[in-house]
Every structure is written in C-alpha cells, then in structure tokens.
Amino acid sequence: MTNRVVVGAQWGDEGKAKITDLLAEKADLVIRYQGGCNAGHTVVANNKTFKFHLIPSGILYKGKICFIGAGTVILPEAFESEIKGLIAEGVDVSGLKINPLASITMPYHTEVDGYSENNATKGKIGTTKKGIGPTYTDKMARIGLKIQDLYSPEALNEKLDIILPLKNKTLKEVYGLEPYSKECILSLCEKYAEIFKPYVCFDWQTVLEDAKRDNKAVLFEGAQGVMLDIDYGTYPFVTSSNPIGGGAATGSGYGPKMIDEVIGVAKAYVTRVGEGPFVTELKDETGNKIREIGHEFGVTTGRPRRCGWFDAVTMKYAVLVGGLTSIALTKIDVFDSFDEIKVCTAYKDTRDGKIYKNYPTDVFIHKYLEPVYETHKGWKQDITGITVYDKLPENAKKYLERLEELLETPISIVSVGPDREQTIFRKDI
C-alpha cells in the first residue's frame, strides 16, 4: 500500500480538499497533521458541497479511520459546530478520532489573535483570527493545554496553576484584556471534555501500530501550504505550523519512513489571502478575471483572494522544502477562455537587475522584485469534461509539460473542475 502526504504547494487554498478526497477513497486511515480551523476545505460530493475546517474530509467515506493528529490545534466551539453540521447532513462520523496530544485553542488565544490583528499598525499578518498563532506559541512555550488534560484533574490543576498567573499578567498588562479565573477555565474545560469525549482516542498507539502492521494505506492530510510554513514560508507572513511534507512526520504519530509519496497541490495560477509578499500578484483586470472565474473567495473568512500568474520560482522551492514527489495541478480550466497564460520563471531585482532563479528567502526585498514571464498560448476551449490526458488540447498539454520541465517534477493529477469526476490521473494512483 502506498502512503501519501497531500501538501499545499503554494499559499493554501490550492484545492487540496478535492485531491485529499479522491485519495482518501484509496486510503484506510487519514490523518490531518497540522493547523486548525484556519483551514477551509471544500469538497463537492454527491451533488452536495461540504466545507471542512479541521475534520479530515475522508470522513465522507464510510469505514475510514480519520484522525485529527497531535500536531493540530483545536478550537472546541469550531470543532463542535463542524461535527454537528456533518451529522445534520447525515454523515457517519463514527470513524473520527482525535489524538489526545492535540492542543486546545482557549478563548484567550482567539482574543489575543483578534487583538493583535485589529491593533497592528505595522506588521499585520492578516490571520484568520482563529487563535492559531497564540495556541502554537503557548504549545512551544510549554504552557499549552492538550486534549488529554481535559480528562486529567491532576494535569489541569497543576498546569493551570502555572499557566494562569502568567497568562493573566500578559492579558492584562500587554493586551489590556480581562483575566480569567481558574474556576472559569475549569468549567470551560468540563464543557470541552464533553464535546470531545466521543472522539478522543486514548488508544491511538494501538490504532496506528495495527494499521502499520496490517500494511494499511495511510493518507496524511496537510492544511495551508508550503509558502505559509513557519520555517520555510514567507516569514513572518505565515501560519504557525509546518504544512510541508515533513510536518506529517511530526504531527501524525508516524515517522518519515512511513511516507512513500508527497503530492503537492498547486493551482495553475497562484492565490493568497492575508498579507505578505506575492511577486506575481495581478492587481489588474486579469487578476479580477482569475478571481471571478476561479471563485477566489476564502472559505473560512470570505475574504477575496489575491490572484496572480503561476510562479515557478516559489513552486520549485516548494518542491524542494515540501519534499514533493509529484504535483496535482488544479483549476487549469479557469484559463479556458484566456488568449495567453503567463508563467514566472525568475525574479528580477529592479534595483540592480539581478536575476533570481532560486527563491530569495528574505521577503523584505520582494517589493523590489518583478516577475520574469514566459507566455503560453491559451487553448480557448472548454476542458471541464475531459478526463483523459491525451484528449486535452495541445496547448494545455504544452503548458503542463513546460511546468513539469521547469519544476523537474511530474504532474500526476490534473483537475479540470470541482467534481470528483473532473480529474485526470496521469498514472495509476
């Protein structure tokens, strides 16, 4: 059985959910390994549209085990409303399991995230305000709460005695926010314990060991994208976790040797929400056209996404640091009516003409960079019904094959529309 990681290869919103959904059909176990409800994954199945934030979309298939892994952060209220929504749609959620080592987003995390974003005069990140950064900050500072703590009076009691004095001092003195009493947090934790109870899997080691021993197929589900990775992305305009393929080996409970393939999902163009550099961004009619045809508005926040041409410079970087073994290219049909399609192959520094073929990691110089483009002829044809690679128009194939050449990586999947059927597999997956 092949174990695969699905990674966003750009700035998130690449259409990972559809690819994850397709691959989940062939997996026995799906594990979401990082992030939280900052993600928004839309899956169209059986003529219904499902919006996932934290729960692996593999839950739509009966009989799959779907883990929310230890590397994730969970906002209890968001989890509760997501699960209720699925149950209301008749989805069987009995396969859902939460690793008790996952971190909890507390109300003070969302408050601090909101405060920082609303009050930033400089250095605004444009976060989803779901408390992601503050939750990971506390996890790394070793003052976070984990799901398992909710069921351990000792852990809660001892941890809160350390956490709360520190937290309240910061809330009051740094942010001017209200402090929390221990009673208040304890009663919240009681409520959270009830919410998670049907899903927490204290026996996760056995489940993972059994699956490994029985050679079950594992799908590791990433959120966000390589360019939002805390270590390799456009720091500080990033999320606070590791969406890269390597993140699967820390956030899932399995090590790197369990991974056979890493599929990087990328759009045929680029989008970004929130602040931060974006060299190929189009602030013109072409950008608007891509946004409208591609319906580029955020699932989690509804924000219009910034749009631009495909950037082979960041993508080549994503192949390297994301550990990508192949690419799933989505939304190529958005270009069906385009006369020309551009691809950025290098950056040029407008100050001295220096050409960058490799991604310059100092994002503070990106404002001086302009894209060097090559132009491809459009195919001017509706390709949304094509499911066989050879039936694609010549210009579409040329475009895809040029991307493979630039990225030195095969494109294994091409998506030509939102439905499961609108997919071209270039190899037997």
Q: How far is it, in rounded angstroms, from Cα 83 to Cα 77? A: 10
Examine the residue annotation and report whether 109 is marked as an active-site residue of this protein: no
Shortest distance (Å) from residue 237 CB to ligand IMP? 6
In the complex with ligand IMP, which residue's Cβ is closer, 28 or 281?
281
Q: How far is it, in rounded angstroms, from Cα 105 to Cα 49? A: 27
CB neighbour list of residue 164: distance below 8 Å, 6 or more residues apart: 180, 182, 185
In the complex with ligand IMP, which residue's Cβ is closer, 4 or 306?
306
Q: What DSSP assignment string belongs to 145-183? A: -BGGGGG-HHHHHHHHHHHHHHHHHHHHHTT-PPP--HH
**Interacting residues with ligand IMP (CB under 6 A):** 11-13, 38-40, 125-128, 130, 132-133, 223-224, 228, 237, 239-240, 273-274
Question: Are 318 and 309 spatial neighbours (Cβ–Cβ below 8 Å)?
Answer: no
Give me the count of residues in the chain.
Answer: 429
Question: Are 46 and 60 spatial neighbours (Cβ–Cβ below 8 Å)?
Answer: no
Residue in the shown chain whose Cβ atom is closest to ligand IMP: 274
Q: Tokens 């192959």 — which residue?
A: 345
Shortest distance (Å) from residue 197 CB to ligand IMP? 27
Q: What DSSP assignment string belongs to 180-244? A: --HHHHHHHHHHHHHHHTTTB-TTHHHHHHHHHHTT--EEEE--S-GGG-TTTSSTTSS-SS--S
Shortest distance (Å) from residue 71 CB to ligand IMP? 14
Shortest distance (Å) from residue 78 CB to ligand IMP? 12
Q: How far is it, in rounded angstroms, from Cα 48 to Cα 176? A: 44
What are the tokens at 16?
């990972």
Shortest distance (Å) from residue 294 CB to ligand IMP? 14
Q: Choose, from 21, 28, 41, 113, the residue flagged as catalytic.
A: 41
Examine the residue annotation and report whether 41 is marked as an active-site residue of this protein: yes
**Would you please indicate which residues are annotated as catalytic (active-site) residues?**
13, 41
